[in-house]
Structure 1
Amino acid sequence: MDPSKDEIQTEGGLIENLSTEQNSRCESPKRGTTLSTSTSSFEALDPHDPNLSRLANTMFQKTGEYLQEELTATHADYRLLERLNKETIAKYTELKIISSNVVQSLDSLNDKYKKLQPILDNINQIDDSVSKLEQAAYKLAAYSKRLEAKFKDLEKDTKNK
């Protein structure tokens, strides 16, 4: 029972159709273009290179360590910011207390000044009066000197005559 040429061609065509159909379903970046959005070049039925698997595992481990350290650093940054915020709140609270005390002191001083204002006004009036009196005394002293000088001149004139 030798197969005829027609049967062989038919079987060959079926095999070719099957392989084309299988290729179109299983196309990957290794075999050609695909509509899949996956970027993996691994195929489920392909044997894996142990070196490539080891390198991939190392890469994933290192990436995990890197991400863990990034998260740890970010967490440390947030803890530092939290501590800085607490210190800032404490400092502003302290400054608020100090400014509150300064306001109270200023209010007290303003009240004392208002109570002393009439006395200070009186002192200013006395000072003005003393200044006027001093000017009058200087004028009187100058007038006295002129009078004395005239009197001496008159005395000399009367003695000379």
Structure 2
Amino acid sequence: MTSVKDPLREDVQIEQSYMENSADHNSRCGSPKRGTTLSTSTSSFEALDPHDPNLSRLANTMFQKTGEYLQEELTSTHADYRLLERLNKETIAKYTELKTISSSVAQSLDSLNEKYKKLQPILDNINEIDDSVTKLEQAAYKLAAYSKRLEMKFKDIEKDTKSK
């Protein structure tokens, strides 16, 4: 005997198989709805459409944690900018102090240069006198040496005259 397939019975079996697979899929997702609960498109989201409370809680937690993270990032960035601002102010103050000191040193140097220019003729005179004193000292040493030689000759001549 040949068996005849009943098309109605096949459709029922397919639908039961689909329901079992959907139930299995829903139990894995934990969603009361069949299929995905959220679409990647925001236009298909219905505010009044019931959705998975677990997924909603997780999304809220994610948004809260992301908000906290971004807040902390902004806070730390703001703190970094405040620190940089403080460092810049300190640097400006230090450079202002250094500028004042360098201006004072420049004024002192200019004053010393002017005094040196005024003293230059006197210093040149002192150098000339020092050269003259050095030459005079050398002449005095030569004269002293010559005097000693003369004295020795005089003593030699005196000895010679007494011995004769």
Same-fold call, TM > 0.5? yes
**CA separation in 1, counterparts of 2:50 and 2:155?**
143
**CA separation in 1, counterparts of 2:45 and 2:100?**
72
Q: 1:49 Cα shift?
A: 2.6
CA RMSD, aligned part only?
2.5
Alignment pair present for 1:105 and 2:72: no
Match 2:78 to one of 75, 78, 87 = 75
Once the two structures are superposed, what CA deviation does each residue of 1:10-56 show, in whole Å capped at 9, x if it has no partner?
xx9xxxxxxxxxxxxxxxxx78xxxxxx856xx64785332222112
Alignment pair present for 1:93 and 2:96: yes
1:123 counterpart residue number: 126
Q: 1:119 Cα shift?
A: 0.5
Q: Paired residues, what number?
A: 127
Q: Which amino acid aligns with 2:135?
A: K
Structure 2 stretches lacking a partner, 5+ long: 1-10, 12-34
Structure 1 stretches lacking a partner, 5+ long: 1-11, 13-29, 32-37
Match 1:154 to one of 127, 141, 157 = 157
Alignment pair present for 1:55 and 2:43: no
1:143 counterpart residue number: 146
**CA separation in 1, counterparts of 2:79 and 2:119?**
59
TM-score using structure 2 length: 0.70
Q: 1:160 Cα shift?
A: 1.2
Higher RCO (C-alpha 8 Å, min separation 6): 2
**CA separation in 1, counterparts of 2:103 and 2:162?**
84
Q: Which amino acid aligns with 2:147?
A: S
Q: Which amino acid aligns with 2:155?
A: K
Percentage identity across aligned positions?
Answer: 87
